Chain A
C-alpha cells in the first residue's frame, strides 16, 4: 500500500498568504508599538510616584459630600432634560433621515445627501461638537441639546437606515400593489418591519444621551458636567464624588429600564 497520499502534511493557510507581506506587517507593527511606548515616556518610575497621589486623591473623595445638594440636583435635572429633549427631537427627525439614507427607499441625490450628513455627524465625538456649538450659541443647555441631537441623528441615521435596507422587499411590493401611495407604503410596508429595531434604538439612544449629557457640561454645554468640572477644579473631591455617585445611579437606573423594555420587545 502506498503511503504517499496518507502521510501528506496539512497546514491551514495563513491569513496573509505572501510571507514577505506577512512578516513586514508583523515586524513593522512591533517596531511601532516599541517606538510609541518610548515616545510617550511610559515608565515605571512615574507609575510608582503617581500611585500614592492617586490613593490620597481617593481618600479625599470619601465620604462623599452631599451638602451642595441643590446645585447637584439642578445640574442632574438639567442633564436629564437635555437628554430627553434631544432624544425626542432626534428620534422624530431620524425617520425622514433614515428613509433618505436607505438605498432601497431613497432616490440617488437624497441618499447621497443623507449619507453625507450621517458620516459628518458620526465622525466627531460629542465633546468636539459641543465645543463648536458653545462657541456658536453661547453657554448653557441649548448648545448641549443641539450637540446631543446632532450626534444622535448620525447614530440613528446609520443604524435605522441599515435596518430599512435589510427589510423584505416582498412586503413592500404587496403594499404597492394595493394602490397605496408612497407614504402609505412606508406606513404598512416598511414601518412594521423595522418597528422593533426603531424602539430598541430609541431606548439605547436615551441611554447614550444621558451619559453624554453628563460630560458635555465640561465645555459649558449645560448639565451636571459643569458642576463636576468645577468641583475638581476647586479640589472639592468629596463633592465631585457625590456627583459621580448620582451619575452612576442614573445610568444604572436607565440601564435597568432599557433592559426591561427591550426584553418586552420580541
Chain B
C-alpha cells in the first residue's frame, strides 16, 4: 500500500536530516511519528510528497515509485496525498469554499481554477464535508476570519477532497488548546477510517499521539529508533527518542485516561 525505503536527505548545508529511514504501511492505520524538534519529522513527511527533494531512497504509493517522477506525473502523485499543516497554511485572503476547492486544483484546468468553475460534484462534496466537520454555513467566510480550530478543519477537508490514498499530517495541533487539539485528532482519525486510508501524523505531544495512534514511530537525529504499537511505548522508549527525562508522569496520564 505504502512504503518508504532507505530515505536519505542531506541539506546543502551538509546537515543530514534523514539517515536512511524505512517504513511500510500495509493497512489503513494512524501512524504517529514522535521525535524531538529537529529530528527530521517535517523533512520526512515532505520528502514523501517531494515538497522537499530527498537525496536518495524510494517511496512507493500503490506500486508507483514517487522519488523518480517528474512534472505532470509528480503532480498526479501529489494529488493522491493529502497534506495537513502545522500552521494550517490556508490561503488567508480567500473564502473557506475556495480553500476547500483548492484541494481539487490537481484535477481542474487553469481556466477553471482561475474563474472558480469547479465541477458540481466537487462543490457538493465540499458542502457535505463542511457540514461533516461542523462548518456548515461558513463557506463564504474568509479564511482569516476563522479561529485556529476552524482553520484546521478547513485544512483537513482541503486534504480530503483530493481523494487521497494517504494523509500526511505535520503537527496538526501545535497551535491549538488541549480540547480543540483532541477534537482535531479525533476528526483526523475518524475521517481516515471512514475513507479507509492511512495517515502519518507528526506530533510532539506524546499523550495525544499515543491516544489516537495505532502505531508509533520514534525518529531521532534522522534515524528510526522505535516502531511499534502505542502500548509498547515505555519510559525507556521515550528516553531513547527524546533523551533522559522523568517520563513516568507523561505515560501514566495516558493509562489513567484509558481506564
Closest to A195 in B: B93
Q: Does B49 contact A (CB under 8 A)?
A: yes
Would you call A188 an interface residue if the criterion is a C-beta within 8 Å of the partner chain's C-beta atoms?
yes
A179-B105, A183-B110 in contact; A189/B91 too (CB < 8 A)? yes
Which segment of B29-37, B82-90, B196-204, B212-220 sits at the interface?
B82-90
Does any Cβ of B come within 8 Å of A263's Cβ? no
Task: Verify A171–B91 contact, CB threshold 8 A.
Answer: yes
- Per the 8 Å Cβ criterion, residues 49-106 of B in contact with A are 49, 51, 72, 75-81, 83, 85, 87, 89-94, 98, 102-106
A28 CB–B CB distance under 8 Å: no
Which of B72, B75, B76, B83 is close to A174, meaning CB atoms less than 8 Å apart?
Answer: B83
A234 to B158, CA, bound (A): 70
A96 within 8 A of B: no
Nearest CB in chain A to that of B93: its residue: A192
Contact B93 A177 (CB under 8 A): no
* Among B105, B114, B162, residue most surrounded by chain A Cβ atoms (within 10 Å): B105
Q: How far is the CA of A60 from the CA of B77 in the complex (A)?
A: 77
Does the CB pair A187–B113 fall under 8 Å? Answer: yes
A-B contact count (CB 8 A): 80
B-contacting residues, A155-180, CB 8 Å: 168, 170-171, 173-180
Return the contact of A178 from the options B87, B90, B94, B105 (Cβ within 8 A): B105
Complex formed: what's the CA distance from A173 to B80 in Å?
16
The reply to whether the CB of A88 lies closer than 8 angstroms to some CB of chain B is no
Q: Which residues of B contact A168 (CB under 8 A)?
A: 92
Q: Which residues on the B side are within 8 Å of A180 (C-beta)?
A: 75, 102, 105-106, 113
When distances are taken between beta carbons in the complex, the residues of chain B under 8 Å from A192 are: 91-94
Residues of B within 8 A of A178 (CB): 78-79, 102-106, 158, 162
Known contacts A180-B106, A181-B72; A175/B91 CB under 8 A: yes
- Whether B89 lies near A187 (C-beta < 8 A) is no
Question: CB of A81 within 8 A of chain B?
Answer: no
Contact of A188 among B75, B78, B102, B155 (CB under 8 A): B102
Given A179-B80, A187-B110, 18 other A-B contacts at CB below 8 A?
A173-B85, A174-B89, A174-B90, A174-B102, A177-B49, A177-B168, A178-B102, A179-B75, A179-B77, A179-B78, A180-B75, A180-B102, A181-B110, A183-B110, A184-B113, A187-B113, A188-B113, A195-B93
Chain A residues in contact with chain B, CB under 8 A? Answer: 168, 170-171, 173-181, 183-184, 187-189, 192-193, 195-196
Give chain B's interface residues, CB within 8 Å of chain A.
Answer: 49, 51, 72, 75-81, 83, 85, 87, 89-94, 98, 102-107, 110, 113-114, 155, 158, 162, 168
